[in-house]
Copies of this chain bind each other. A is one copy, B any other.
Amino acid sequence: MEKYVVGIDIGGQSTKLGIVDARGNILCQSVISSLQTRLDDFLDDLTRALEELIAKAGGKELIRGIGVGAPNGNYYKSSIEFAPNLKWGYDDSGNPMIIQLGKILSDRIGVPVAVTNDANAAAQGEMTYGVARGMKNFIMITLGTGVGSGIVINGQVLYGHDGFAGELGHTIAVRGGRPCNCGRVGCLETYTSAIGVARTAREFLANSEAPSLLRELDPERISSKDIYEAAEKGDALAVEIFEYTGKILGQSLADFVAFSAPEAIVLFGGLTKARKYIEEPILRHMNDNLLNIWKNKIRLEFSQLKDSDAAILGASALAWEL
């Protein structure tokens, strides 16, 4: 009877939700704003949207559970903890709060709820519906505005002692390197996120005289999409930017392999659109930095899920485990 799950992807701007079947088809979906300043307003909007969707799917008797992907989502506590980018995540004194989202939603809707962060949800999604089906040990790296990760060990997403395992975007790729939003320097995220790649472009443009189509753009507004488009037009500097990005990521991946010995690395996110420019450098630098026992043995996979669906699918995949 319980043949569907619900996936909710909470972002800073908007929250997407959808009803998903066991094959990963999204039956129906909707979206609400995440810009409410009061938590209760957000929760009321979310509850209403959920009830509408569930009614459309045939009622809550058909729903196995709800999975939520959210910034700073804590799987063990089913909570969102101190998320800096959610407008309704602060208390009256302006301090970020712990929000017991799982309990609140399951009380309101009457089905079980699981909460985790976006990257862990993405890993669960790939394992349930994507390129990681059948894999027991892999590492998912999400290359978006930031860099997140979801680590799968023996078929289970790794949460660690406190629920926050898998912050590989904040391992140090370059000691003494670029300042990161987290307050430290040299984090992988500052080099291999969309924003990091744009920083690389500005550095390369400033530090060389090489001709480049990118010089026609306002350096402060260069995006990873601009760099991809320049590469497509044969721009050598743009290709070099992806080579450098692949080097930093490949080096870091080699260290991650030494930790958990996965069978594959799975990449997801905006930067993977530049696959033709980053795949080879990532693989080459990863293999150059691997111990002999792993050289040329670790597969590099790119997510095949549609960008627009992946977040809902990932969150929904959590609910099959409930």
Rounded to whole angstroms, the CA-CA distance of A168 and B184 in the bound complex is 22
Rounded to whole angstroms, the CA-CA distance of A167 and B298 in the bound complex is 15
Q: Mark A88-111, 1 if CB is under 8 A from B, else 0.
A: 000000000000000000000000
Are the CB atoms of A165 and B260 closer together than 8 Å? Answer: yes
Q: Given A153-B158, A158-B153, A172-B251 in contact, is the A184-B259 Cβ separation under 8 Å?
A: no
Binds B, one of A1-9, A38-46, A288-296: A288-296
Are the CB atoms of B163 and A261 closer together than 8 Å? Answer: yes
Rounded to whole angstroms, the CA-CA distance of A292 and B183 in the bound complex is 9
Using a Cβ–Cβ cut-off of 8 Å, how many residues does chain A contribute to the interface with B?
Answer: 42
Cβ of A175 within 8 Å of any chain B Cβ, yes or no, is: yes
From B82, B184, B255, B263, A161 is in contact (CB under 8 Å) with B263
Are the CB atoms of A259 and B165 closer together than 8 Å? Answer: yes
Task: List the B side residues contacting A156 at CB < 8 Å.
Answer: 154
Q: Mark A123-149, 1 if CB is under 8 A from B, else 0.
A: 000000000000011000000000000
Cβ of A281 within 8 Å of any chain B Cβ, yes or no, is: no
Are the CB atoms of A291 and B261 closer together than 8 Å? Answer: no
Are the CB atoms of B137 and A160 closer together than 8 Å? Answer: yes
Rounded to whole angstroms, the CA-CA distance of A171 and B262 in the bound complex is 15
Sample of 19 A–B contacts (CB below 8 Å): A82-B293, A136-B161, A137-B160, A153-B153, A153-B160, A160-B260, A161-B263, A162-B294, A163-B261, A164-B261, A165-B259, A166-B261, A168-B259, A170-B258, A171-B258, A172-B251, A172-B255, A184-B289, A255-B255
